[in-house]
Amino acid sequence: MQSLDTLNKLDQKHVWHPYSAVQADYPVYPVKSAHGVTINLTDGRQLIDGMSSWWSAIHGYNHPILNQAVTDQLQNMSHIMFGGLTHQPAIDLALQLVEITPEPLQTVFFADSGSVAVEVAMKMAIQYWHTKNQPSKKQLLTVRNGYHGDTFGAMSVSDPENGMHSLFSSTLSQQLFVDAPCCRFGEPCTTEDITQFKETLAQHQQQIAAVILEPIVQGAGGMRFYSADYLRQVRELCTQYDVLLILDEIATGFGRTGKLFACEHAQISPDILCLGKALTGGYMTLAATLATEEIALSIRDGEPGIFMHGPTFMANPLACATALASLKLLLDSPWQKTVNNIEGLLQKGLNPCKDFSAVKEVRVLGAIGVIELHDAIDIKSLQPKFVEAGVWVRPFNKLIYLMPPFIISDNELETLTAAVVTVVKNL
């Protein structure tokens, strides 16, 4: 095996990392293995994972049941094309997703990443209105501070000014934006809170194919938690003005907010739903876009009679089998009690940060803890401090946030939050 120094030099010279650059002086830490909630670095250090590998590894790493699901599926096939062929894992997973998601969602389109699931949802909405002889309905309406992915369609509905895609704004499809909701989670949505959204929807209803939102939690756009009542009124307005509602639950799905899906906080259902990240328990990439039967059959019965999308690795059997095992693990567990316990420990553990001058706000919802600072973070200097403290936390912009695996023990979570408090105190 190559030395740690050699690994780092080769990585820096040849490898691109997310939101980074080749041959840039950003800290990167080679990983030897990961088990449970522990990341084992090549240099021998161990870190408690506070990120679930960006929301996805809800059962931790190297879970024996998920490992077995991968091994068993490998004996049959790791992949087969989905054009003209099908297989049991895809059928079973589609049935499982239809069963656990809000009732009107009856059809499942498998994709290979969250960004692609959003692209699929947008194309479904536009093609649906084309079949209804309303081709002018091709724009999307959303709120600022949102994030829906890094591909071109997904970028076009992410925040155009304050998001990470402003460089590409002139090349993207032009969508409609209103201010993000100011009413916080747990608060009612006033007439004033919803007025701009309602007026924009009313004015442009003939051009709007769909509204797209991250329900309750705006993720990479600021980790903001907004009112369930706002989301409920958005659903009512979409119905009133004959506009589809797309909900992006890629980050919030599968229990992270304390509900199986975040839209359940508002007791509403979308017309199209995007899922990803935790779908396979973080084992491999898989995503899904669910739609109502009305949308699916309208596309079937219109021109050209097929939905114009088809990823090469769509419904990968290995990923589908692992997703089934991951969902069974989750649904057979007392996940609500687990997430409620994590929520309480995050609130208790991060609460001291409220007294620090660098901190603007501390907020917690389900298994999500957020520390918002007054000033932007220098990740080059801050990341090593978390590693030195024995935890893996990946801050960005003005945010230090936690989304630990659901299997984290109380002691591990207390160690994690204590390390964060110490680092933040010394900012």
Residue 418 lies in a domain: yes
Cα–Cα distance measured from residue 427 to residue 424, given in angstroms and rounded to the nearest whole number: 5
Cα–Cα distance measured from residue 100 to residue 84, given in angstroms and rounded to the nearest whole number: 27
Residue 71 lies in a domain: no
Q: Choose the final residue of a domain: 298, 331, 364.
A: 331
* Active-site pick, 19, 32, 328, 410: 19
Q: Are residues 302 and 420 in the same domain?
A: no
What is the chain's alpha carbon radius of gyration, rounded to the nearest angstrom?
Answer: 22
Judge residue 179's burial from the number of C-beta atoms within 10 Å of its C-beta, 0-12 exposed, 13-18 middle, 19 or more buried. Answer: exposed
DSSP codes joined into one string, 157-171: TS-TTTSTTGGGGGG
Query: Residues 307, 299: contact at Cβ < 8 Å?
Result: yes
Active site residue 19: yes
Residue 420 structure tokens:
């964060």
Residue 40 lies in a domain: yes
**What's 333's DSSP letter?**
T
Active site residue 29: no
Q: Are residues 194 and 107 in the same domain?
A: yes
Amino acid at 267: Q
* Active-site pick, 248, 259, 283, 401: 248
Active site residue 61: no
Residues near 381 by beta carbon (within 8 Å), at least 6 away in sequence: none
Query: Residues 201, 207: contact at Cβ < 8 Å?
Result: no
| Longest CA–CA separation in the chain, Å | 63
Q: What share of the chain is helix, strand, coil (3-state, %, to 5)?
A: 40, 20, 40
Residue 142 lies in a domain: yes
Q: Are residues 327 and 408 in the same domain?
A: no
Query: Residues 120, 294: contact at Cβ < 8 Å?
Result: no
CATH number, domain of 57, equals 3.90.1150.10
Write out the chain's pLDDT in tens, 427 residues: 778 889 989 999 999 998 888 888 888 999 999 999 999 999 999 999 999 999 999 999 999 999 999 999 999 999 999 999 999 999 999 999 999 999 999 999 999 999 999 999 999 999 999 999 999 999 999 999 999 999 999 999 998 876 666 788 888 999 999 999 999 999 999 999 999 999 999 999 999 999 999 999 999 989 999 999 999 999 999 999 999 999 999 999 999 999 999 999 999 999 999 999 999 999 999 999 999 999 999 999 999 999 999 999 999 999 999 999 999 999 999 999 999 999 999 999 999 999 999 999 999 999 999 999 999 999 899 999 999 999 999 999 999 999 999 999 999 999 999 999 999 999 9
Residue 67 lies in a domain: no
- Find where tokens 């059997």 sit: 317
CATH number, domain of 88, equals 3.40.640.10
Q: Are residues 212 and 99 in the same domain?
A: yes
Q: Are residues 33 and 158 in the same domain?
A: no
Q: Are residues 50 and 83 in the same domain?
A: no
Q: Are residues 399 and 252 in the same domain?
A: no
Q: Are residues 261 and 339 in the same domain?
A: no
Q: Are residues 189 and 158 in the same domain?
A: yes
Q: Choose the final residue of a domain: 313, 331, 349.
A: 331
Residue 207 lies in a domain: yes
Q: Choose the final residue of a domain: 279, 307, 331.
A: 331
Residue 70 lies in a domain: no
* Active-site pick, 147, 226, 283, 401: 147
Cα angle: 244, vertex 214, 201; to 5 degrees: 40
How many distinct structural domains can be found in the chain? 2
Q: Are residues 223 and 150 in the same domain?
A: yes
- List, for residues 31-80, the tens digit of each pLDDT value: 999 999 999 999 999 999 999 999 999 999 999 999 999 999 999 999 99
Residue 423 structure tokens:
């680092």
Cα–Cα distance measured from residue 95 to residue 358, given in angstroms and rounded to the nearest whole number: 48
Tell which residue, 369, 367, 365, has the closest CA to residue 401. Answer: 369
Long-range contacts of 35-38 (CB under 8 A, 24+ apart): 35/60, 35/61, 35/62, 36/60, 36/61, 36/62, 36/405, 36/407, 37/61, 37/404, 37/405, 37/407, 37/408, 37/409, 37/412
- List, for residues 141-191, the tens digit of each pLDDT value: 999 999 999 999 999 999 887 666 678 888 899 999 999 999 999 999 999
- Find where tokens 């509900």 sit: 259
Active site residue 271: no
Tell which residue, 279, 354, 286, has the closest CA to residue 316. Answer: 286
Query: Residues 424, 371: contact at Cβ < 8 Å?
Result: yes
Residue 112 lies in a domain: yes
Query: Residues 272, 297: contact at Cβ < 8 Å?
Result: no
Domain that holds residue 122: 76-331
Residue 352 structure tokens:
């001291």
Residues near 48 by beta carbon (within 8 Å), at least 6 away in sequence: 37, 38, 39, 390, 391, 392, 408, 412, 415, 416, 419
Q: Are residues 272 and 364 in the same domain?
A: no
Q: Are residues 277 and 140 in the same domain?
A: yes
Cα–Cα distance measured from residue 23 to residue 25, given in angstroms and rounded to the nearest whole number: 7
* Active-site pick, 123, 137, 259, 277: 277
